[in-house]
Amino acid sequence: MSKAALKQAYIDNLFYIQGRFREVATPHDLYMAAAYTVRDRLLARWVKSAQAFKTNHARTVCYLSAEFLLGPHLANNLVNLGITKIAQESAADLELDFATILEEEEEPGLGNGGLGRLAACFMDSLATLCIPAIGYGIRYEFGIFDQRIENGWQVEKSDTWLRNGNPWEIPRPKICFPVNYGGYTEQYRHANGTLRRRWIPAQEINGVAYDTPILGYGVGNVNLLRLWKAEASQSFDFQAFNVGDYYGAVHAKIEAETISKVLYPNDEPEIGKELRLKQQFFFVSCSIQDMIRLHLHTVGALDSFAQKFAAQLNDTHPALAVAELLRLLIDVHDMNWEAAWNITRNTFSYTNHTLLPEALETWPVQLFERLLPRHLEMIYAINQQFLDEVRTRFLHDEERIARMSLIAEGEQRRVRMANLAVVGSQAVNGVAALHSELVKTTLLKDFYELWPEKFHNVTNGVSPRRFIVVSNPRLAELITEVCGSDDWIQDLTLLRQLEPYATDPAFQQRWRNVKTAAKCDFAQWLLLQTGIQLDPQALFDVQAKRLHEYKRQHLNVLHIIRLYQRIKQEPNIEVVPRAFIFGGKAAPGYYLAKLIIKLINAVAEVINHDPQIEGRIRVAFMPDFNVKNGQRLYPAADLSEQISLAGKEASGTGNMKFSMNGALTIGTLDGANVEIREEVGAENFFLFGMTADEVQRKQAAGYHPWEVYQNDPELKADIDLINSGVFSHGDSALFRPLTDHLVNHDPFMVLADYRAYLTCQERVSAAYRDASNWDRMAILNVARMGKFSSDRAIAEYAQQIWQVAPVAV
């Protein structure tokens, strides 16, 4: 880890791996040499960790997730190795521009949003807490699309993240498993004379492992992220080639590889997409087969499988694991039903990440019959056993049976993946206190009444390494100085030591300098990307997250239009200068979400070029909001918009990242906002809007957005201005689908919370006028965010759900 060794290794890697010497090296070569130099320093610890876990048969957490939104590796690994400074000095000695090298890294966008990023933060914390763990997922060749904004509209560009290779992964061609689809099942007489059933599949492909080391912060532990790539079991059919059928020769290869080709870009399910089900079964089958191989390799007999492994289902996307483990234990490893079922339901635990009914995955039984006939038989057998238990427990309650069944009857019978996950798990949790309550009282109420002991809450967290130390080194340095050490990076509750400085003018000044510098950096980057100039002195009011109606980006736009109209009506009115910054991708098929992006850009176009506004308010849509660009944005925000309709955002994690970087939050009592407000103090949080109970009551009583529209003249004026075409070059029809939907349906009650939101925003402006008081609140916010470290969340999973102990390497 010495500077001399780093520099030598860098030059060697540039020469021996990139085959370049300095003068002719491209920026990409310079980055690859750096990546290999750092990666090599992970490998030593990786091998030692694997040995340590193997020798003491460590109980291991397996995190099964269809998404891992990792973000760029280099800077994060330098922090976790504790060599960022040495690396910067080495780069300077070698006359390398460190920042340019970091910029060169392509981010592995193997996720959509919250769920995928949470999985990545959890992998960082599992290693940092020295808990042996394996992350299992899919090595998509194309991750989440790159977002371009053309003429105000989102345009998707395919994410060719692998085009220049990936230095952070190690291919494991020998770790390869067959995955089957289709065919039929039949009864046969087993050698031991018993009648058994077996699967005669129609198609077989291979799953090949690609391993990425996940180093913990300040520890020797390196865990494994094992992502599966689909390959044809026979990649070239020579017979077909011989008869000149060139497409036939490669058909199997193309068909197989399609399975891990691309990430589904929706963070809400698309009905019945067969490839999506094939993807889910693909990584589940490879992962379970790999866990069985590891167990047989280290322990031998499978009866202690559930003692060895605690497998977490990251939402329902991997729920097929319940049926697949059962199938493998019975059909392949000759275990009887009782023993196999016992192991299965003690191995898994399930996390729910959304209450949105349309987000609960169900698959047509027909699709199962065609694609996974043996698993359907397993599901029927599980269901029969389960419904017997329900019947004995709740006599004469056929509705309950119908609600709880793994099969939704009706003209198209469907398999309920959430029910399968709950029945096949020993624990179920939500991701914030309010959400976990709503899971128990609404979504999974029946199951909670049957198995209350299964239900837990583990409030989400985020990695302070990536989202403070890597993203905001100036802030990290200031905190370390005040705390007298950097122990806070591993124990975020130590941030409390900042409290006494909240009213210290000198410290406030340094605090403000850190924020202003981050705002300048971001403004400079945004100017390059969009040509929009922001004033770093303005209040940076930021909403960055996936575009979705329940997240209510359009409520934010109505506030902007209200401000605009006020200035137009009273040009001399004194307003606190604001820069409204939006970021976020819309699922390609989600029309209203894409229309909201267009509206934001259309409003920006008019306001930013209106001389009467004189820059008092600016609006900008930052393109391609992803982990890398998020790291630029979180340190630059003054105000964090967390304005979802109460009861809809399971937790949110962006809210934590903004608050940890000194932004104050304007938000509803939804998801983790509730707990952030509890921790930072109600007086340091801008609260507005209906509570989840009030929303449920209003929905039950009947909500009439049209009346709200008619009875609030400012609201009416704002919506009418949109319909006037002033933001769409006179085309009054462009945004009609959105405004009509608002005044006639408004499923997420934007109009109902409009007035309260506006009033709250006036409180924000008033607060921002008193800079030192604002800084006091911002400092207290950061000081009290310790709870929201993903280390605390993982410690709770380890204690409450996995019963796993750390193994320090």
**Residue 71, C-beta contacts closer than 8 angstroms, at least 6 positions apart:** 107, 108, 117, 120, 466, 626, 627, 628, 631
Helices 84-93 + 3-16 axis angle, to 10: 60
Q: Which is nearer to ligand 26W, 426 or 460 (CB)?
A: 460
The least CB distance from residue 317 to ligand 26W, in Å, is 6
State how far the Cα of 408 lies from the Cα of 274, in Å rounded to an integer: 18
Say what the alpha-carbon torsion angle 541, 547, 551, 554 is, to the nearest 10 degrees.
70
The question of whether 85 is a catalytic residue gets the answer no
Q: Which is nearer to ligand 26W, 270 or 740 (CB)?
A: 270
Instruction: State both tokens at 421.
Output: 């996950």
Query: Which residue in the list 7, 276, 308, 353 is annotated as catalytic?
Result: 353
The question of whether 546 is a catalytic residue gets the answer yes
Q: What is the DSSP string of 452-503?
A: GGGEEE----B-HIIIIIIT-HHHHHHHHHHHSSSGGGT-GGGGGGGGGGTT
Q: Which stretch binds ligand 26W (CB under 6 A): 15-23, 108-116, 159-167, 694-702?
A: 108-116
Beta bridge partners of 351: 314, 429
Q: Which stretch binds ligand 26W (CB under 6 A): 151-159, 324-332, 353-361, 534-542?
A: 353-361
Q: Which stretch binds ligand 26W (CB under 6 A): 200-208, 262-270, 328-336, 779-787?
A: 262-270
Q: Which of residues 659-688 bind ligand 26W (CB under 6 A)?
A: 671
| 242 HSE (CA, 13 A, CB side) | 3
Q: Which is nearer to ligand 26W, 380 or 550 (CB)?
A: 550
The least CB distance from residue 359 to ligand 26W, in Å, is 5
The least CB distance from residue 182 to ligand 26W, in Å, is 23
Candidates 176, 359, 795, 807; binder of ligand 26W (CB under 6 A) is 359
Nearest Cα to Cα of residue 290 among 215, 211, 349:
211
State how far the Cα of 137 lies from the Cα of 499, in Å rounded to an integer: 41
Q: Which stretch binds ligand 26W (CB under 6 A): 122-130, 266-274, 395-403, 791-799?
A: 266-274
Candidates 114, 135, 424, 786; binder of ligand 26W (CB under 6 A) is 114
Burial class (CB in 10 A: 0-12, 13-18, 19+), 673: buried
Q: Which is nearer to ligand 26W, 20 or 554 (CB)?
A: 554
| 485 HSE (CA, 13 A, CB side) | 6
Provide the 3-class DSSP secondary structure of residue 704: coil
Candidates 14, 87, 118, 130; binder of ligand 26W (CB under 6 A) is 118
Query: Which residue in the list 20, 414, 466, 546 is annotated as catalytic?
Result: 546
The least CB distance from residue 652 to ligand 26W, in Å, is 5
State how far the Cα of 639 lies from the Cα of 519, in Å rounded to an integer: 12
Provide the 3-class DSSP secondary structure of residue 142: strand
Q: Which stretch binds ligand 26W (CB under 6 A): 7-15, 114-122, 216-224, 255-263?
A: 114-122
Provide the 3-class DSSP secondary structure of residue 148: strand
Candidates 65, 84, 112, 212; binder of ligand 26W (CB under 6 A) is 112
Are 75 and 98 in contact, with CB atoms under 8 Å apart?
A: no
Nearest Cα to Cα of residue 543 among 621, 601, 596:
621
Are 578 and 539 in contact, with CB atoms under 8 Å apart?
A: yes
Say which amino acid occupies 566: R
The least CB distance from residue 464 to ligand 26W, in Å, is 17
Residue nearest ligand 26W (C-beta atom): 114
N residues, the chain: 809
Q: Which is nearer to ligand 26W, 113 or 623 (CB)?
A: 113
State the number of binding residues for ligand 26W (CB under 6 A): 21
Query: Which residue in the list 39, 59, 657, 776 is annotated as catalytic?
Result: 657
The least CB distance from residue 760 to ligand 26W, in Å, is 21
User: Would you count residue 268 as binding ligand 26W (CB under 6 A)?
Assistant: yes
Candidates 6, 70, 87, 115; binder of ligand 26W (CB under 6 A) is 115
Are 652 and 673 in contact, with CB atoms under 8 Å apart?
A: yes
Candidates 113, 373, 424, 705; binder of ligand 26W (CB under 6 A) is 113
Q: Which is nearer to ligand 26W, 553 or 739 (CB)?
A: 553
Candidates 280, 429, 460, 790; binder of ligand 26W (CB under 6 A) is 460
**Residue 648 — φ and ψ, nearest 5°?**
-105, -35
Over the window 406 to 435, marking each residue x when it contacts ligand 26W by CB under 6 A and - when it does not, the resulting string is -------------------------x----
Query: Which residue in the list 212, 459, 653, 739 is annotated as catalytic?
Result: 653
The least CB distance from residue 536 to ligand 26W, in Å, is 30
Provide the 3-class DSSP secondary structure of residue 52: helix
The least CB distance from residue 640 to ligand 26W, in Å, is 14
State how far the Cα of 367 lies from the Cα of 666, in Å rounded to an integer: 45
User: Would you count residue 649 as binding ligand 26W (CB under 6 A)?
Assistant: yes
User: Would you count residue 266 as binding ligand 26W (CB under 6 A)?
Assistant: yes
Q: Which stretch binds ligand 26W (CB under 6 A): 412-420, 470-478, 646-654, 656-664?
A: 646-654
The question of whether 157 is a catalytic residue gets the answer no
Q: Which stretch binds ligand 26W (CB under 6 A): 220-228, 352-360, 409-417, 534-542?
A: 352-360
Q: Which of residues 297-336 bind ligand 26W (CB under 6 A)?
A: 315
| 86 HSE (CA, 13 A, CB side) | 16
CA triplet 138, 356, 648: central angle to 5 degrees?
110
**Residue 697, C-beta contacts closer than 8 angstroms, at least 6 positions apart:** none
User: Would you count residue 650 as binding ligand 26W (CB under 6 A)?
Assistant: yes
User: Would you count residue 535 as binding ligand 26W (CB under 6 A)?
Assistant: no
User: Would you count residue 342 as binding ligand 26W (CB under 6 A)?
Assistant: no
User: Would you count residue 444 as binding ligand 26W (CB under 6 A)?
Assistant: no
Q: Which is nearer to ligand 26W, 640 or 653 (CB)?
A: 653
Q: Which residue has the tokens 């959304």?
A: 354
Helices 553-569 + 750-769 axis angle, to 10: 60
Candidates 345, 353, 374, 594; binder of ligand 26W (CB under 6 A) is 353
Instruction: State both tokens at 439.
Output: 């899971």
Q: Which stretch binds ligand 26W (CB under 6 A): 175-183, 337-345, 520-528, 649-657?
A: 649-657
Are 34 and 12 in contact, with CB atoms under 8 Å apart?
A: no
Q: Which is nearer to ligand 26W, 472 or 651 (CB)?
A: 651
Q: Which stretch binds ligand 26W (CB under 6 A): 171-179, 491-499, 590-598, 651-659?
A: 651-659
Instruction: State both tokens at 795.
Output: 């410690």
The question of whether 353 is a catalytic residue gets the answer yes
The question of whether 48 is a catalytic residue gets the answer no
Helices (H), 609-712: 627-633, 654-660, 673-680, 692-701, 705-711
Q: Which is nearer to ligand 26W, 111 or 167 (CB)?
A: 111
State how far the Cα of 598 lies from the Cα of 390, in Å rounded to an integer: 50
Q: Which is nearer to ligand 26W, 223 or 460 (CB)?
A: 460
Say which amino acid occupies 80: N
Handedness of CA 389, 391, 395, 401 (dihedral sign): positive
Provide the 3-class DSSP secondary structure of residue 12: helix
The alpha-carbon radius of gyration of the chain (Å, integer) is: 27
User: Would you count residue 652 as binding ligand 26W (CB under 6 A)?
Assistant: yes
User: Would you count residue 438 as binding ligand 26W (CB under 6 A)?
Assistant: no
Q: What is the C-alpha end-to-end distance of the chain, expressed in Å?
A: 18
The least CB distance from residue 794 to ligand 26W, in Å, is 14
Query: Which residue in the list 551, 559, 594, 618 is annotated as catalytic?
Result: 551
Candidates 29, 267, 446, 549; binder of ligand 26W (CB under 6 A) is 267
For β-strands 348-351 and 309-314, DSSP reports them as parallel
Beta bridge partners of 138: 228
Q: Which residues bind ligand 26W (CB under 6 A)?
A: 112-115, 118, 266-269, 315, 353-354, 359, 431, 460, 649-653, 671
Residues that are catalytic: 353, 545-546, 551, 653, 657
